[in-house]
Chains A and B, each alone.
Chain A
Amino acid sequence: MAMAIRVYLLFLLFLSSAILSFSLYEDQVGLMDWHQRYIGKVKHAVFHTQKTGRKRVIVSTEENVVASLDLRLGEIFWRHVLGTKDVIDGVDIALGKYVITLSSEGSNLRAWNLPDGQMVWETSLHSAQHSKSLLSVPTNLKVDKDYPILVFGGGYLHAVSAVDGEVLWKKDFTAEGFEVQRVLQPPGSSIIYVLGFLDSSEAVVYQIDSKSGEVVAQKSMVFPGGFSGEISSVSTDKVVALDAMRSILVTISFLDGDISFQKTHIADLVEESGKAEILSPLLSDMVAVKVNKRTIFVRVGGEGKLEVVDSLSDETAMSDSLPVADDQVAFATVHHEGSKLHLMVKLVDDLDTVLLRESIQMDQNRGRVHKVFINNYIKTDRSNGFRALIVMEDHSLLLLQQGAIVWSREEGLASVTDVTTAELPVEKDGVSVAKVEHTLLDWLKGHVLKLKGTLLLATPEDVAAIQEMRFKSSGKNKLTRDHNGFRKLIIALTKAGKLFALHTGDGRIVWSMLLNSPSKSEACGRPNGISLYQWQVPHHHAMDENPSVLVVGRCGSDSSAPGLLSFVDVYTGKEISSSDIGHSVVQVMPLPFTDSTEQRLHLIADTHGHVHLYPKTSEALSIFQREFQNVYWYTVEADNGIIRGHAMKSSCSGETADEYCFTTRELWTVVFPSESEKIISTLTRKPNEVVHTQAKVNSDQDLLYKYVSRNLLFVATVSPKGAGEIGSVTPEESALVVYLIDTITGRILHRLSHQGCQGPVHAVFSENWVVYHYFNLRAHKYEFTVVEIYDQSRAENKNVWKLVLGKHNLTAPISSYSRTEVLTKSQSYFFAQSVKTIAVTSTAKGITSKQLLIGTIGDQILALDKRFVDPRRTLNPSQAEKEEGIIPLTDSLPIIPQSYITHSLRVEGLRGIITAPAKLESTTHVFAYGVDLFYTRLAPSKTYDSLTEDFSYALLLITIVALVAAIYITWVLSEKKELSEKWR
């Protein structure tokens, strides 16, 4: 047996060493992989529909994307993902041909060409302090005259030429306590008004000449009540602000430089008073104020007189006002009524005139409307038509026109926070496979085509036919489980609290579910999902149960807010049950035990140091009681630099009558010296990782026993000075220290210090090794270090006869308290790229060799064989070592262009990579998420256990047929010859 495995492994090794890199042919792109492009939740939208050409909408999003979308289909014309720190503050169109974006708190101003998205110019603006950033692009249709773009940010007002981005002038507003609130320019006027509050109590208006930037006049006036900072401009010479008590609306008019206040108590406007809030939409001569869960519209009269004109429920979303024909201004409101969505477009001057009233059936799983943007167009009968772009609670983007949803984009998928995978249902008897497969003739025809392709005889038409056939082939999009485990569901939880199930075949959404859909009770205000766990994975004896996932959420953003558990059926996407658990959620710990229905036991820790057992059944309790002494948990306090280990103590019956609640006691603490070390990263092995063997065999038959433990924690610390940006410290000041800590006993198994190195540390932990990436300040290069950990106390188990007779304790359960002697080996290599995330492939049995999946700074994923990060690499490996597959040591890790698994694509804004095993041992699923989604299947050692999809069955068949025919013919011939011999 062992011999057979050896032969097999050697054979494998030969196969794998023959081809160093994984790559695919051009025509294989899109066969196993898919890529989806998203933009994120839309913050601003600017329509561009004037010209007769392509109608488009320019959007900027919370994922820092600026994109141009096709208004007809919702497709992306172009898109730019700015960095994670480059938050977009404003977007507008200038000169009718440039998209202007202001980002990074008003310090980056960029112009993009409207049709193709090429950057035209970029200007870095000087900023001295944190402040509001305001972008004001003159809405002048006369293209020939260059009105400057006004940008306020970082304490400075800049006038920037729209043509080339040149800063025409800048004005310093960095005075102490002065906060600029509005920059206004009446159309056609050469005077710019800058309104700000000095110490939140004095309104100051500067009049600035738009040509030179000189201050023409300055007026100020003290408002005794003080301002809250909320402000809404109603016209070019009037703003409405809220006082510090949030009970008085102050109209500030500064016509011709004279400031005047007009106070109106909110109590005078509405009966029930409360804290007021000015809402953001820009409405001319009107301001929207939220009081007591109602939205009131207040018209600002000519003399600053306020008057309530309408009041709506606070769940109504409003758009900014939009000029329509004949000097009229309209705005849209959207509100829900059951499953219907009502869109109304009204005139600002006359709220009773409803220009448009539409109601649209809306999916409950999209939640409420968050934002509305409207645009008008002239219908053929000269009347006004409106289209509305709405952003829903689940971040999806929809275009409504003429009472229908023209298109929708699931932008929630741009902010995936947690991912898990699930199996599809088993194929039932009723569903016939034969219906999907073709007839024998088609099948044969297809294979003949493929054969032609292999023999390079195919014409271009044939190649196209082959491509098409491949795309349709093998029912890869079916909603049932397949033999190889290639078809699976990817369950993704998004920031908006929506759960998506994606099919691995083509990435389509099988189902989606909003955690806080409006149909549910209001017990838990606005739950946000935190993390996702596999709750029930039925196999063996619970086969008829549907698998389910557990979504752990929290009813608020505070860490002490009560938690929420939601159990979702994976097959149907329906919530089985959800419960407010009545305690906070700090950590979730899946236990390695399941009950009789394959529900996994989970422990949830709260802020009081208690842990709660789920599911709350007596069976789970009895299972847990059995293992009570062996369950531990640890907490990492990054701010204090402390790691604490806890053990279960007793049932917390003294405080509550909850028998599923347990108290803990502190066992150990690891305290890092705060003056020299700061925790920046911790990592454990994936709990569901399968390790095939505990032995590591070297070329000279030497044995090492891997120290494979789930209770190992990798901790990386840096000097507090070096916690900042790369290059902010000198090599002498910074050091990186990594630890391997046993989380049961708190024992430090290994400590490794890198002088002159700095984070951020990206690490991956698998089997008995950790690979981490950091920056070496001395060498000015990124580095990878591998640490492998071996169990030295098992090394004596080398007597063959004892092993043959099974007289060894290698499979006996081990305890962390046995204080194993460990041996570590490590090696470092330079790496040319900065890294965003690292993952490792995982396979069903753990036999297949591993690949590191490195998410590079260019948002691509590089597959690197684990053999490159093997501490046994030497400069001149011996013949035996070479045979074993040890690569000669080089100072840096190679980046082979063919081993980018994303080939030519980019997973913009890459944040994480998830791997999951397929049933076929050689293959692993890889799912990467960021703003984009990418999925592919990988075979790190090639598909040694199956024939590839392009395997030419026809060739095999023809060969067999030909052989049989040849055998028959020669047999007949030989018979004849023998007969004639006999007659001779």
Chain B
Amino acid sequence: MDKGKAVMGTGRRWAVDFSDQSTVPSSRDILDPPGFSRASPEQDDSANSRQKKDAEANWKLQKAWEVAQSPFKNLMMMGFMMWMAGNTVHLFSIGITFSALWQPLSALQSVGKIFEPFKDNKVELLMPKLVFLALNLGGLALGIWKLNTLGLLPTHASDWVSSLAPPQEVEHSGGGFAFH
């Protein structure tokens, strides 16, 4: 666009720019074709970029830890909300409880995706991932505990027999007063 404007400004009707822009990725408008990797020319870069990379890895690790610890805040908030919601079954408490169950579950499902930006062969992501998993499981446990306190978990005998039909009887009898 900028170029187009400049061209228009000088009064030219059209121009073809033959300069090779493949080495200047910042200024490209067009996406790379699939499978094309721009990394190869950068590999044999100068040695001072190694330091830069280390810093980046550190930064990534730091970020990964931040992400891994983020459910903790969530957990605290959830706990507070649950405490606020009380122990009776109504719309609010059920909503809170189900969101408390849903959030960790969805987070657990997409754990790979969340840590993808920090993926680096230099960065050890296992620990952050484990912490993330543990915190989310904690959240899940909190949700289940809440569900239980609401009495919505089938942990009592009554939950399993409440729709049990009465047993058949072996003997049959009838009778009563005689007709008159």
Identify the A interface with B (CB < 8 A).
1-3, 5-7, 10, 530-531, 554, 559, 585-592, 603, 605, 627, 630-636, 638, 645-646, 682, 684, 687, 691-695, 697, 701-703, 706, 708-711, 743-744, 797-800, 803-804, 810-817, 883
Contact = CB atoms under 8 A, between A and B. Distances in A.
A798 B161 CA distance: 9
Contacts of B30: none
Contacts of A706: 166
A223 B53 CA distance: 144
B161 A634 contact: no
Interface stretch (B67-75, B106-114, B126-134, B171-179): B171-179
Given A633-B174, A638-B177, A695 B162 contact: yes
Prevailing SS type, chain B contact patch: loop
B89 to A, nearest CB: 6
B180 interface: yes
Interface size class of B (residues with CB under 8 A): 20 to 34
B165 A691 contact: yes
Given A2-B163, A632-B173, 10 more contacts: A2-B162, A591-B172, A627-B172, A635-B178, A636-B176, A638-B177, A694-B166, A703-B156, A811-B167, A815-B171
Nearest to A815: B170
B158 A531 contact: no
A701 B6 CA distance: 80
Given A2-B154, A3-B153, A695 B161 contact: yes
A630 B156 contact: no
B24 interface: no
Contacts of B160: 2, 800, 803-804
A586 B179 contact: yes
Prevailing SS type, chain A contact patch: mixed
Contacts of B167: 694, 810-814
27 contacts: A1-B163, A2-B154, A5-B162, A6-B151, A6-B159, A530-B179, A589-B174, A589-B175, A591-B174, A605-B175, A632-B171, A636-B176, A682-B176, A687-B174, A693-B166, A694-B164, A697-B162, A797-B157, A799-B157, A800-B160, A803-B157, A803-B160, A804-B160, A810-B167, A813-B168, A816-B169, A816-B170
B7 interface: no
B158 A590 contact: no
Interface in B66-109: 88-89
A711 B178 contact: no
B152 interface: yes
B31 to A, nearest CB: 21
A877 B137 CA distance: 39
B155 interface: yes
A590 B174 contact: yes
A563 to B, nearest CB: 9
Contact of A684 (B88, B153, B166, B176): B176
A5 B89 CA distance: 14
A838 B88 CA distance: 38
Given A694-B165, A803-B161, A6 B152 contact: yes
Q: Which of A530, A687, A711, A799 has the most CB of B within 10 A?
A: A711
Contacts of A591: 172, 174
A588 B173 CA distance: 11
B145 to A, nearest CB: 16
A708 B169 CA distance: 9
Contact of B158 (A631, A697, A811): A697
B133 to A, nearest CB: 27
A113 B137 CA distance: 87
Interface in B137-156: 151-156
Q: Which 3 residue pairs of A and B lie closest in terms of their CB atoms, listed nearest first?
A: A589-B174, A803-B160, A632-B173
Contacts of B156: 701, 703, 800
Given A587-B176, A633-B174, A709-B169, A693 B162 contact: yes
A631 B172 contact: yes
B15 to A, nearest CB: 26
Contacts of B170: 630, 813-816
Contacts of B172: 591-592, 627, 630-632, 710-711
Contacts, number: 156
Given A559-B178, A587-B175, A634-B173, A691 B166 contact: yes
Contact of A586 (B89, B161, B171, B178): B178
B176 A694 contact: no
Contacts of A588: 179
Contacts of B177: 636, 638, 682
B178 A587 contact: yes
Contacts of B154: 2-3, 800
Contact of A631 (B89, B161, B173): B173
Contacts of B151: 6, 701
Q: Which of B158, B163, B169, B174 has the most CB of A within 10 A?
A: B174
B161 A711 contact: no
A587 B176 CA distance: 7
A489 B170 CA distance: 33
Q: Which of A798, A800, A816 has the most CB of B within 10 A?
A: A800
Nearest to A798: B157
Contacts of A810: 161, 164, 167
B169 A10 contact: no
Contacts of B162: 2, 5-6, 693, 695, 697
B168 to A, nearest CB: 4
Contacts of A743: 173, 175
Contacts of B158: 695, 697, 701-703
Contacts of B159: 2-3, 6, 800
A635 B158 CA distance: 39
Contacts of A646: 175
A534 B156 CA distance: 42
A10 B89 contact: yes
Contacts of A585: 179
A86 to B, nearest CB: 23
Nearest to B170: A815
Nearest to A633: B175
A638 B169 CA distance: 28
Nearest to B158: A697
Nearest to B177: A636
A744 B171 contact: yes
Contacts of A814: 167-170
A687 B172 CA distance: 10
Contacts of A811: 164-165, 167
A800 B162 CA distance: 12
Contacts of A2: 154, 159-160, 162-163
A939 B172 CA distance: 32
Contact of B175 (A5, A636, A638, A708): A636
A648 to B, nearest CB: 11
Interface string B3-32: 000000000000000000000000000000
A71 B149 CA distance: 73
Nearest to B157: A798
B57 to A, nearest CB: 41
B97 to A, nearest CB: 12
Contacts of A694: 161, 164-167
